[in-house]
Structure 1
Amino acid sequence: MTAHFDAGLYRWVTHLAQQTPVPLDDAVRFFSDYGLGLFAVLMLLAWWRARPGDAARMATALAAPLVVLLVFLVNDAVKSLFDEQRPCQTIHVATVEPCPGLGDWSFPSNHTAIATACAVALLVANRRLGLVAVPVAVLMAASRVWIGVHYPHDVLAALVVGAAVAWPAALAARRAAPAVERMRGTRLLGPALGRDPAGAPAGGTAGGTAGGAPPLR
Protein backbone atom coordinates (compact mmCIF):
# COMPACT_ATOMS: atom_id res chain seq x y z
CA MET A 1 0.00 0.00 0.00
CA THR A 2 1.39 3.45 -0.89
CA ALA A 3 2.22 6.07 1.72
CA HIS A 4 -0.39 8.71 2.49
CA PHE A 5 -0.33 12.48 2.09
CA ASP A 6 0.73 12.94 5.71
CA ALA A 7 3.53 10.38 5.56
CA GLY A 8 6.07 13.20 5.79
CA LEU A 9 4.53 14.46 9.01
CA TYR A 10 4.45 10.92 10.36
CA ARG A 11 8.17 10.50 9.58
CA TRP A 12 8.96 13.82 11.27
CA VAL A 13 7.07 12.92 14.45
CA THR A 14 8.54 9.43 14.73
CA HIS A 15 12.04 10.83 14.07
CA LEU A 16 11.50 13.42 16.81
CA ALA A 17 10.38 10.65 19.16
CA GLN A 18 13.66 8.84 18.53
CA GLN A 19 15.62 11.96 19.53
CA THR A 20 13.88 12.45 22.87
CA PRO A 21 15.04 10.90 26.17
CA VAL A 22 13.97 7.31 26.64
CA PRO A 23 12.07 8.01 29.90
CA LEU A 24 9.85 10.50 28.06
CA ASP A 25 9.13 8.01 25.29
CA ASP A 26 8.36 5.36 27.90
CA ALA A 27 5.95 7.72 29.65
CA VAL A 28 4.18 8.56 26.39
CA ARG A 29 3.97 4.90 25.47
CA PHE A 30 2.53 3.99 28.88
CA PHE A 31 -0.06 6.76 28.64
CA SER A 32 -0.95 5.77 25.07
CA ASP A 33 -1.43 2.13 26.01
CA TYR A 34 -3.17 2.54 29.37
CA GLY A 35 -4.41 6.12 29.52
CA LEU A 36 -7.98 5.14 28.72
CA GLY A 37 -8.21 4.08 32.34
CA LEU A 38 -8.17 7.77 33.30
CA PHE A 39 -11.48 8.21 31.51
CA ALA A 40 -12.99 5.35 33.49
CA VAL A 41 -12.04 7.20 36.68
CA LEU A 42 -13.57 10.43 35.36
CA MET A 43 -16.79 8.62 34.46
CA LEU A 44 -17.01 7.21 37.98
CA LEU A 45 -16.58 10.75 39.31
CA ALA A 46 -19.32 11.96 36.97
CA TRP A 47 -21.68 9.30 38.36
CA TRP A 48 -20.81 10.21 41.95
CA ARG A 49 -21.28 13.93 41.36
CA ALA A 50 -24.59 13.29 39.60
CA ARG A 51 -26.09 11.63 42.68
CA PRO A 52 -27.29 14.89 44.29
CA GLY A 53 -28.34 16.33 40.91
CA ASP A 54 -31.44 15.95 38.81
CA ALA A 55 -32.39 12.75 37.01
CA ALA A 56 -31.29 14.00 33.59
CA ARG A 57 -27.79 14.57 34.88
CA MET A 58 -27.68 11.08 36.35
CA ALA A 59 -29.05 9.62 33.11
CA THR A 60 -26.21 11.14 31.07
CA ALA A 61 -23.62 9.97 33.60
CA LEU A 62 -24.97 6.41 33.52
CA ALA A 63 -25.13 6.45 29.72
CA ALA A 64 -21.49 7.49 29.28
CA PRO A 65 -20.09 3.92 29.07
CA LEU A 66 -22.83 2.97 26.59
CA VAL A 67 -22.00 6.01 24.47
CA VAL A 68 -18.35 4.92 24.44
CA LEU A 69 -19.34 1.39 23.42
CA LEU A 70 -21.47 2.75 20.58
CA VAL A 71 -18.60 4.88 19.31
CA PHE A 72 -16.22 1.93 19.44
CA LEU A 73 -18.60 -0.23 17.39
CA VAL A 74 -19.10 2.49 14.79
CA ASN A 75 -15.39 3.28 14.56
CA ASP A 76 -14.46 -0.38 14.30
CA ALA A 77 -16.99 -0.81 11.49
CA VAL A 78 -15.41 2.10 9.64
CA LYS A 79 -11.98 0.58 10.24
CA SER A 80 -13.07 -2.69 8.64
CA LEU A 81 -14.30 -0.83 5.56
CA PHE A 82 -10.91 0.71 4.78
CA ASP A 83 -8.48 -2.06 5.83
CA GLU A 84 -5.60 0.41 6.05
CA GLN A 85 -2.30 -1.03 7.21
CA ARG A 86 -0.41 0.62 10.04
CA PRO A 87 2.06 3.27 8.87
CA CYS A 88 4.92 1.38 10.50
CA GLN A 89 4.11 -1.52 8.13
CA THR A 90 4.28 0.77 5.10
CA ILE A 91 6.94 3.29 6.09
CA HIS A 92 10.04 1.69 7.50
CA VAL A 93 11.01 3.88 10.44
CA ALA A 94 11.99 3.19 14.02
CA THR A 95 9.02 3.52 16.36
CA VAL A 96 8.57 3.77 20.12
CA GLU A 97 5.89 1.04 20.11
CA PRO A 98 6.52 -2.27 18.34
CA CYS A 99 4.55 -2.24 15.12
CA PRO A 100 1.24 -4.16 15.25
CA GLY A 101 1.00 -7.06 12.84
CA LEU A 102 -0.49 -7.12 9.36
CA GLY A 103 -4.27 -6.97 9.44
CA ASP A 104 -4.37 -4.83 12.58
CA TRP A 105 -5.95 -1.92 10.75
CA SER A 106 -5.00 1.70 11.33
CA PHE A 107 -7.79 3.99 10.09
CA PRO A 108 -9.47 5.41 12.14
CA SER A 109 -7.74 5.06 15.52
CA ASN A 110 -9.84 3.14 18.05
CA HIS A 111 -7.93 4.56 21.01
CA THR A 112 -8.60 8.11 19.83
CA ALA A 113 -12.27 7.46 19.05
CA ILE A 114 -12.82 5.97 22.51
CA ALA A 115 -11.00 8.84 24.23
CA THR A 116 -13.04 11.37 22.25
CA ALA A 117 -16.29 9.60 23.09
CA CYS A 118 -15.38 9.65 26.78
CA ALA A 119 -14.59 13.37 26.66
CA VAL A 120 -17.81 14.26 24.85
CA ALA A 121 -19.97 12.10 27.11
CA LEU A 122 -18.35 13.71 30.13
CA LEU A 123 -18.95 17.20 28.74
CA VAL A 124 -22.66 16.43 28.58
CA ALA A 125 -22.77 14.73 31.99
CA ASN A 126 -20.50 17.11 33.89
CA ARG A 127 -18.98 20.14 32.20
CA ARG A 128 -16.07 20.50 34.62
CA LEU A 129 -14.98 16.89 34.25
CA GLY A 130 -15.49 17.17 30.51
CA LEU A 131 -13.12 20.13 30.34
CA VAL A 132 -10.52 17.95 32.04
CA ALA A 133 -11.17 15.05 29.68
CA VAL A 134 -10.95 17.00 26.41
CA PRO A 135 -7.20 17.82 26.59
CA VAL A 136 -6.51 14.26 27.76
CA ALA A 137 -8.29 12.97 24.64
CA VAL A 138 -6.21 15.29 22.44
CA LEU A 139 -3.03 14.04 24.12
CA MET A 140 -4.18 10.47 23.53
CA ALA A 141 -4.59 11.23 19.83
CA ALA A 142 -1.12 12.80 19.62
CA SER A 143 0.45 9.92 21.52
CA ARG A 144 -0.77 7.40 18.96
CA VAL A 145 1.24 9.17 16.27
CA TRP A 146 4.21 9.73 18.58
CA ILE A 147 4.65 6.03 19.33
CA GLY A 148 4.37 5.26 15.62
CA VAL A 149 1.19 3.20 15.34
CA HIS A 150 -1.01 5.74 13.51
CA TYR A 151 -0.87 8.33 10.75
CA PRO A 152 -2.02 11.83 11.74
CA HIS A 153 -5.11 11.40 9.57
CA ASP A 154 -6.02 8.24 11.50
CA VAL A 155 -6.40 10.16 14.73
CA LEU A 156 -8.05 13.19 13.11
CA ALA A 157 -10.71 10.96 11.55
CA ALA A 158 -11.24 9.23 14.89
CA LEU A 159 -11.74 12.59 16.60
CA VAL A 160 -14.48 13.37 14.08
CA VAL A 161 -16.15 9.96 14.37
CA GLY A 162 -15.99 10.03 18.15
CA ALA A 163 -17.49 13.51 18.48
CA ALA A 164 -20.10 13.06 15.73
CA VAL A 165 -21.48 9.86 17.26
CA ALA A 166 -21.03 10.60 20.96
CA TRP A 167 -22.57 14.08 21.09
CA PRO A 168 -26.10 13.22 19.89
CA ALA A 169 -26.02 9.89 21.74
CA ALA A 170 -25.11 11.57 25.03
CA LEU A 171 -27.79 14.23 24.59
CA ALA A 172 -30.37 11.55 23.78
CA ALA A 173 -29.60 9.87 27.10
CA ARG A 174 -31.40 12.72 28.87
CA ARG A 175 -34.65 11.18 27.68
CA ALA A 176 -34.08 8.40 30.18
CA ALA A 177 -34.51 10.87 33.06
CA PRO A 178 -38.06 9.69 33.93
CA ALA A 179 -36.84 6.10 34.18
CA VAL A 180 -33.93 7.18 36.37
CA GLU A 181 -36.35 9.13 38.58
CA ARG A 182 -38.46 6.00 39.05
CA MET A 183 -35.41 3.89 39.87
CA ARG A 184 -34.31 6.47 42.42
CA GLY A 185 -37.50 5.72 44.29
CA THR A 186 -36.59 2.07 44.78
CA ARG A 187 -34.74 0.68 47.78
CA LEU A 188 -32.38 -1.34 45.61
CA LEU A 189 -31.16 1.40 43.26
CA GLY A 190 -32.03 4.54 45.18
CA PRO A 191 -28.74 4.80 47.12
CA ALA A 192 -26.62 4.36 43.99
CA LEU A 193 -28.66 6.80 41.95
CA GLY A 194 -28.84 9.50 44.56
CA ARG A 195 -31.81 8.84 46.81
CA ASP A 196 -31.40 10.71 50.08
CA PRO A 197 -31.50 8.96 53.47
CA ALA A 198 -35.14 9.95 54.00
CA GLY A 199 -36.08 7.93 50.92
CA ALA A 200 -36.68 10.79 48.46
CA PRO A 201 -34.77 11.07 45.19
CA ALA A 202 -31.94 13.62 45.34
CA GLY A 203 -33.01 17.01 44.18
CA GLY A 204 -36.23 15.91 44.92
CA THR A 205 -39.68 16.41 44.17
CA ALA A 206 -41.23 12.94 44.13
CA GLY A 207 -42.14 12.24 47.72
CA GLY A 208 -39.46 14.69 48.96
CA THR A 209 -39.67 17.69 51.22
CA ALA A 210 -38.92 21.30 50.51
CA GLY A 211 -36.31 21.28 53.23
CA GLY A 212 -34.01 18.78 51.53
CA ALA A 213 -30.34 19.58 51.01
CA PRO A 214 -29.62 21.52 47.82
CA PRO A 215 -27.78 19.67 45.06
CA LEU A 216 -24.02 20.03 44.88
CA ARG A 217 -22.67 21.98 41.96
Structure 2
Amino acid sequence: MPESFVADLVGLSTDWYLAVAALAEQSPPWLRLTAEIGTEAGLALFAALFLAAWWRARARGARDMALALLAPCATVAVYLVSETVKSVLHQQRPCHVLTDVMTIAQCPPAGDWSFPSNHAAITAAAAAAVIVAWRRLAAVALPLAVLMGFSRVFVGVHYPHDVMVGFLLGVLLAPLLVLLLAPLLARLVQRLRERPLPVPLLADALGGRRALGGHRVSSAGR
Protein backbone atom coordinates (compact mmCIF):
# COMPACT_ATOMS: atom_id res chain seq x y z
CA MET A 1 0.00 0.00 0.00
CA PRO A 2 2.67 2.61 0.87
CA GLU A 3 4.68 1.62 -2.24
CA SER A 4 1.71 2.05 -4.59
CA PHE A 5 0.82 5.37 -2.97
CA VAL A 6 4.36 6.66 -3.52
CA ALA A 7 4.39 5.35 -7.10
CA ASP A 8 1.19 7.26 -7.89
CA LEU A 9 2.67 10.47 -6.47
CA VAL A 10 5.86 10.02 -8.48
CA GLY A 11 3.87 9.55 -11.66
CA LEU A 12 1.90 12.73 -11.05
CA SER A 13 4.86 14.98 -10.34
CA THR A 14 7.51 13.65 -12.73
CA ASP A 15 6.37 16.00 -15.51
CA TRP A 16 6.60 18.96 -13.14
CA TYR A 17 10.07 17.87 -12.07
CA LEU A 18 11.23 17.63 -15.69
CA ALA A 19 9.84 21.08 -16.47
CA VAL A 20 11.70 22.64 -13.53
CA ALA A 21 14.87 20.71 -14.41
CA ALA A 22 14.72 22.11 -17.95
CA LEU A 23 14.29 25.61 -16.52
CA ALA A 24 17.29 25.07 -14.25
CA GLU A 25 19.44 23.82 -17.12
CA GLN A 26 18.66 26.93 -19.18
CA SER A 27 19.24 29.35 -16.29
CA PRO A 28 22.39 31.50 -16.12
CA PRO A 29 25.41 30.14 -14.20
CA TRP A 30 25.10 32.72 -11.41
CA LEU A 31 21.54 31.59 -10.69
CA ARG A 32 22.53 27.92 -10.61
CA LEU A 33 25.36 28.70 -8.21
CA THR A 34 23.07 30.80 -6.00
CA ALA A 35 20.52 27.98 -5.90
CA GLU A 36 23.13 25.36 -5.06
CA ILE A 37 24.49 27.39 -2.15
CA GLY A 38 21.18 28.83 -1.00
CA THR A 39 19.33 25.51 -0.84
CA GLU A 40 21.54 24.58 2.13
CA ALA A 41 22.66 27.93 3.52
CA GLY A 42 19.09 29.22 3.69
CA LEU A 43 18.50 27.04 6.73
CA ALA A 44 20.80 29.34 8.70
CA LEU A 45 18.44 32.25 8.05
CA PHE A 46 15.74 30.49 10.05
CA ALA A 47 18.17 30.16 12.94
CA ALA A 48 18.51 33.96 12.77
CA LEU A 49 14.71 34.31 12.88
CA PHE A 50 14.56 32.06 15.95
CA LEU A 51 17.18 34.23 17.59
CA ALA A 52 15.26 37.41 16.73
CA ALA A 53 12.05 36.00 18.22
CA TRP A 54 13.88 34.95 21.40
CA TRP A 55 15.60 38.33 21.77
CA ARG A 56 12.28 40.14 21.47
CA ALA A 57 10.64 37.77 23.96
CA ARG A 58 13.23 38.61 26.64
CA ALA A 59 11.44 41.93 27.22
CA ARG A 60 7.93 40.49 27.05
CA GLY A 61 5.64 38.19 28.96
CA ALA A 62 6.23 34.55 29.81
CA ARG A 63 3.95 33.31 27.02
CA ASP A 64 5.97 35.17 24.38
CA MET A 65 9.15 33.59 25.71
CA ALA A 66 7.51 30.17 25.71
CA LEU A 67 6.47 30.57 22.08
CA ALA A 68 9.96 31.69 21.08
CA LEU A 69 11.61 28.75 22.85
CA LEU A 70 9.17 26.23 21.42
CA ALA A 71 9.64 27.33 17.80
CA PRO A 72 12.98 25.55 17.23
CA CYS A 73 11.84 22.58 19.35
CA ALA A 74 8.75 22.11 17.18
CA THR A 75 10.92 22.34 14.07
CA VAL A 76 13.13 19.51 15.34
CA ALA A 77 10.03 17.44 16.13
CA VAL A 78 8.70 17.91 12.59
CA TYR A 79 12.07 16.89 11.17
CA LEU A 80 11.92 13.65 13.18
CA VAL A 81 8.42 12.94 11.85
CA SER A 82 9.56 13.60 8.28
CA GLU A 83 12.60 11.37 8.67
CA THR A 84 10.42 8.59 10.08
CA VAL A 85 8.09 8.78 7.08
CA LYS A 86 11.12 8.61 4.77
CA SER A 87 12.36 5.47 6.47
CA VAL A 88 9.00 3.77 5.93
CA LEU A 89 8.23 4.75 2.32
CA HIS A 90 11.70 4.45 0.75
CA GLN A 91 11.10 6.61 -2.31
CA GLN A 92 14.14 7.03 -4.53
CA ARG A 93 15.23 10.54 -5.42
CA PRO A 94 14.50 11.73 -8.96
CA CYS A 95 18.20 12.16 -9.67
CA HIS A 96 18.63 8.39 -9.11
CA VAL A 97 15.64 7.46 -11.27
CA LEU A 98 15.91 10.00 -14.10
CA THR A 99 19.64 9.70 -14.60
CA ASP A 100 19.67 11.50 -17.96
CA VAL A 101 18.45 14.75 -16.37
CA MET A 102 21.06 17.35 -15.45
CA THR A 103 20.97 18.41 -11.80
CA ILE A 104 22.59 21.44 -10.20
CA ALA A 105 23.32 19.80 -6.86
CA GLN A 106 25.10 16.50 -6.41
CA CYS A 107 22.61 13.68 -5.99
CA PRO A 108 22.57 12.35 -2.40
CA PRO A 109 23.71 8.73 -1.97
CA ALA A 110 21.34 5.81 -2.43
CA GLY A 111 19.34 5.20 0.74
CA ASP A 112 18.97 8.91 1.43
CA TRP A 113 15.29 8.80 0.58
CA SER A 114 13.29 11.52 -1.13
CA PHE A 115 9.73 11.57 0.24
CA PRO A 116 8.96 13.82 2.01
CA SER A 117 11.56 16.55 1.70
CA ASN A 118 13.21 17.15 5.05
CA HIS A 119 14.31 20.60 3.91
CA ALA A 120 10.74 21.55 3.05
CA ALA A 121 9.43 20.14 6.32
CA ILE A 122 12.08 21.97 8.36
CA THR A 123 11.69 25.33 6.64
CA ALA A 124 7.89 25.21 6.68
CA ALA A 125 7.89 24.19 10.35
CA ALA A 126 10.38 26.92 11.22
CA ALA A 127 8.38 29.54 9.34
CA ALA A 128 5.05 28.53 10.85
CA ALA A 129 6.42 28.25 14.39
CA VAL A 130 8.32 31.53 14.33
CA ILE A 131 5.24 33.31 12.96
CA VAL A 132 3.24 32.01 15.93
CA ALA A 133 5.93 33.50 18.17
CA TRP A 134 6.09 36.82 16.28
CA ARG A 135 3.58 37.46 13.52
CA ARG A 136 5.55 40.30 11.97
CA LEU A 137 8.19 37.80 10.83
CA ALA A 138 5.67 36.34 8.35
CA ALA A 139 6.80 38.78 5.66
CA VAL A 140 10.26 37.19 5.77
CA ALA A 141 9.60 33.63 6.93
CA LEU A 142 6.88 32.59 4.48
CA PRO A 143 8.59 33.71 1.23
CA LEU A 144 11.84 32.20 2.47
CA ALA A 145 10.19 28.84 3.19
CA VAL A 146 8.52 28.75 -0.24
CA LEU A 147 11.78 29.70 -1.96
CA MET A 148 13.70 27.04 -0.04
CA GLY A 149 11.13 24.41 -0.97
CA PHE A 150 11.24 25.32 -4.66
CA SER A 151 15.03 25.26 -4.59
CA ARG A 152 14.98 21.55 -3.72
CA VAL A 153 13.26 20.81 -7.03
CA PHE A 154 15.30 23.41 -8.92
CA VAL A 155 18.63 21.86 -7.92
CA GLY A 156 17.28 18.44 -8.89
CA VAL A 157 17.19 16.46 -5.65
CA HIS A 158 13.42 16.30 -5.02
CA TYR A 159 10.14 15.79 -6.83
CA PRO A 160 7.54 18.55 -6.39
CA HIS A 161 5.32 16.26 -4.31
CA ASP A 162 8.22 15.64 -1.89
CA VAL A 163 8.33 19.35 -1.22
CA MET A 164 4.57 19.88 -1.04
CA VAL A 165 4.02 17.08 1.48
CA GLY A 166 7.03 18.18 3.54
CA PHE A 167 5.64 21.71 3.53
CA LEU A 168 2.25 20.47 4.73
CA LEU A 169 3.85 18.49 7.55
CA GLY A 170 5.69 21.57 8.76
CA VAL A 171 2.81 24.02 8.44
CA LEU A 172 0.32 21.75 10.19
CA LEU A 173 2.38 20.10 12.93
CA ALA A 174 4.72 22.85 14.14
CA PRO A 175 2.07 25.44 15.15
CA LEU A 176 0.00 22.69 16.75
CA LEU A 177 2.91 21.57 18.92
CA VAL A 178 3.82 25.15 19.85
CA LEU A 179 0.28 26.11 20.86
CA LEU A 180 -0.32 22.89 22.80
CA LEU A 181 2.86 23.19 24.86
CA ALA A 182 2.95 26.98 25.28
CA PRO A 183 0.74 27.19 28.41
CA LEU A 184 2.85 24.63 30.28
CA LEU A 185 6.16 26.21 29.32
CA ALA A 186 4.87 29.73 30.02
CA ARG A 187 4.15 28.75 33.62
CA LEU A 188 7.65 27.34 33.95
CA VAL A 189 9.21 30.47 32.44
CA GLN A 190 7.24 32.66 34.84
CA ARG A 191 8.41 30.66 37.85
CA LEU A 192 12.02 30.83 36.73
CA ARG A 193 11.76 34.58 36.18
CA GLU A 194 10.42 35.07 39.69
CA ARG A 195 13.33 33.32 41.35
CA PRO A 196 15.79 35.46 43.39
CA LEU A 197 18.41 34.64 40.76
CA PRO A 198 16.48 34.59 37.47
CA VAL A 199 17.72 32.66 34.45
CA PRO A 200 19.46 35.21 32.15
CA LEU A 201 18.40 33.44 28.94
CA LEU A 202 14.77 33.93 29.93
CA ALA A 203 15.38 37.57 30.91
CA ASP A 204 12.91 39.41 33.13
CA ALA A 205 9.70 40.83 31.65
CA LEU A 206 9.58 43.70 34.16
CA GLY A 207 13.24 44.51 33.68
CA GLY A 208 12.76 44.46 29.94
CA ARG A 209 9.92 46.97 30.20
CA ARG A 210 12.07 49.28 32.29
CA ALA A 211 14.77 49.03 29.64
CA LEU A 212 12.22 50.12 27.07
CA GLY A 213 11.53 53.33 28.95
CA GLY A 214 9.13 52.18 31.62
CA HIS A 215 6.24 51.56 29.23
CA ARG A 216 4.42 48.25 29.31
CA VAL A 217 4.77 46.43 26.01
CA SER A 218 1.45 45.25 24.64
CA SER A 219 1.32 41.75 23.19
CA ALA A 220 -1.17 42.93 20.58
CA GLY A 221 1.42 44.18 18.13
CA ARG A 222 3.24 40.97 17.37
C-alpha distance in structure 1 between counterparts of 2:135 and 2:181, whole Å = 16
Aligned to 1:94: 102
Question: What do you get for the CA RMSD once the two structures are aligned?
Answer: 2.0
2:156 pairs with 1:148: yes
Task: Give 3-state SS (helix, strand or coil) of 2:217's partner.
Answer: coil
C-alpha distance in structure 2 between counterparts of 1:201 and 1:183, whole Å = 14
Aligned to 2:35: 28
Identify which of 55, 69, 76 aligns with 1:69. 76
C-alpha distance in structure 2 between counterparts of 1:159 and 1:187, whole Å = 43
Aligned to 1:207: none
Aligned to 1:195: 204
Aligned AA (1:74): V
2:182 pairs with 1:174: yes
Q: Is the 8 A contact 1:87 1:151 kept in 2?
A: yes
Q: Deviations over 1:84-135 (max 9, x none)?
A: 0000111120100111121110000001100011001111100011331111
C-alpha distance in structure 2 between counterparts of 1:212 and 1:183, whole Å = 22
C-alpha distance in structure 1 between counterparts of 2:147 and 2:197, whole Å = 40
Shift of 1:203: 5.8
Identify which of 107, 120, 123 aligns with 1:115. 123
2:49 pairs with 1:5: no
Structure 1 unaligned residues grouped into runs of 5+: 205-210
Aligned AA (1:214): R
Shift of 1:212: 4.1
C-alpha distance in structure 2 between counterparts of 1:37 and 1:114, whole Å = 11
Q: Is the 8 A contact 1:194 1:202 kept in 2?
A: yes
2:48 pairs with 1:41: yes
Aligned AA (2:215): A
Q: Deviations over 1:162-183 (max 9, x none)?
A: 1121111011232121111111
2:222 pairs with 1:215: no
TM-score (norm 2): 0.87
Out of 66-75 and 177-186, give the one that drifted further.
Answer: 177-186
Superposition pairs for residues 158-173 of structure 1, below 5 Å?
158-173=166-181
C-alpha distance in structure 2 between counterparts of 1:128 and 1:87, whole Å = 37
Task: Give 3-state SS (helix, strand or coil) of 2:11's partner.
Answer: coil
Q: Is the 8 A contact 1:181 1:201 kept in 2?
A: no
C-alpha distance in structure 2 between counterparts of 1:28 and 1:185, whole Å = 47
Task: Give 3-state SS (helix, strand or coil) of 2:12's partner.
Answer: coil
Aligned AA (1:153): H
TM-score (norm 1): 0.89
Shift of 1:191: 3.4
Structure 1 residues 17 and 180: CA distance shift in structure 2, 3 A: same
C-alpha distance in structure 1 between counterparts of 2:38 and 2:196, whole Å = 40
Shift of 1:201: 5.9
C-alpha distance in structure 2 between counterparts of 1:173 and 1:202, whole Å = 24
Out of 180-189 and 147-156, give the one that drifted further.
Answer: 180-189
Shift of 1:60: 0.6
Aligned AA (1:169): L
Aligned AA (2:216): P
C-alpha distance in structure 2 between counterparts of 1:111 and 1:215, whole Å = 35
Identify which of 180, 184, 196 aligns with 2:193. 184
C-alpha distance in structure 2 between counterparts of 1:100 and 1:83, whole Å = 14
Q: Is the 8 A contact 1:124 1:130 kept in 2?
A: no
C-alpha distance in structure 1 between counterparts of 2:47 and 2:104, whole Å = 25
Shift of 1:202: 4.6
